Amino acid sequence: MSKTVALALGSGGARGYAHIGVIDALTARGYNIVMVSGCSMGAIVGGFYCSGRLEEFRDWITRLKYLDVLKLVDVSLLSSGVIKGDRLYNRISEMLNGQLIEDLAVPFTAVATDIIGKKEVWFQRGPLQHAVRASAAIPSLFTPVADNGRLLVDGAVLNPLPITPCVSAHADIIIAVDLNADVPLPEDFHPDAAVKESDKKAWFNGIVDKAGQWLENKTSARKDVDENLGKLEMLNEVFEVMSASLTRYKIAGYPPDLLIKLPSDACEMYEFYRADEIIRLGREVADMALDAYEAGHSSLYGERMG
């Protein structure tokens, strides 16, 4: 008889693609995922899985190149986020097709942060596309989501690894996936460094060009946009450090039975054109973690806690 699993999927930008590989590893071994909670990209992947549309999402993201990702960016330097996110979430909404959380085949919780009320918000009912957009609204990068007097941003501001919702599932085991772990990349994981660096430059220059074109004075705008994006990169670094610290705190308060650890340097948070590579990494790390867990002990990438 297969074991039931409540799965907590953490935040981490493009590293969140690894969640798909983790789900692949679990289902291949016969584990029955009976509940998912997620934050940020963990909410997006978890939402697609619980709605039965994960393969459609996988097919889309694995075909995205960096120029395709760039086309999804709608720059808005006058809003409270550099990117409005309408193009991206319109595509996600099309795939989710009005799905309600309460109608999902697998129970699901998306965690966001109300920055006015200074508290977590758990979405367990209502439109799925609204919940995942709010959960993934990274501060300073994506425009916050207005919701009945609340202003919602990325759940990682308060809870980058939402284990607590999994407790009520009464599953055989709780598995949490940390995308910000201080562990090395597997020895056989060798991304093409040259291609990676050129993609980063293309991404950055593309954002600068799009923002510069949007502003009236393109000549003077270039310096302003460069400076703004430099500040954004610093904010992202601060956000990731904060998320890693909060994750450790959440794990200490609600330790899962198994903590799967993905290296924080697997990719940059904005490298959404590396889906195939990161999904494979997630599968590899999960398999190593599960091998050890099933043998009754911990490993570098899987800490047995329960």
- Residues classed as catalytic: 40, 154
The pairing of strands 108-114 and 119-123 is antiparallel
Residue whose C-alpha is closest to residue 132's, from 140, 121, 141? 121
In total, the chain counts a number of residues equal to 306
The packing angle between helices 41-50 and 18-28, to 10°, is 40
3-state secondary structure the chain: CCCEEEEEECCCHHHHHHHHHHHHHHHHCCCEEEEEEEECHHHHHHHHHHCCCHHHHHHHHCCCCHHHHHHCCCECCCCCEEECCHHHHHHHHHHHCCCEHHHCCCCEEEEEEECCCCEEEEECCCEHHHHHHHHCCCCEEECCEEECCEEEEEHHHCCCCCCHHHHCCCCCEEEEEEEEECCCCCCCCCCCHHHHHHHHHHHHHHHHHHHHHHCCCHHHHHHHHHHHHHHHHHHHHHHHHHHHHHHHHHHHHCCCCEEEEEECCCCCCCCCCCHHHHHHHHHHHHHHHHHHHHCCCCCCCEEECC
The pairing of strands 140-142 and 173-181 is unpaired
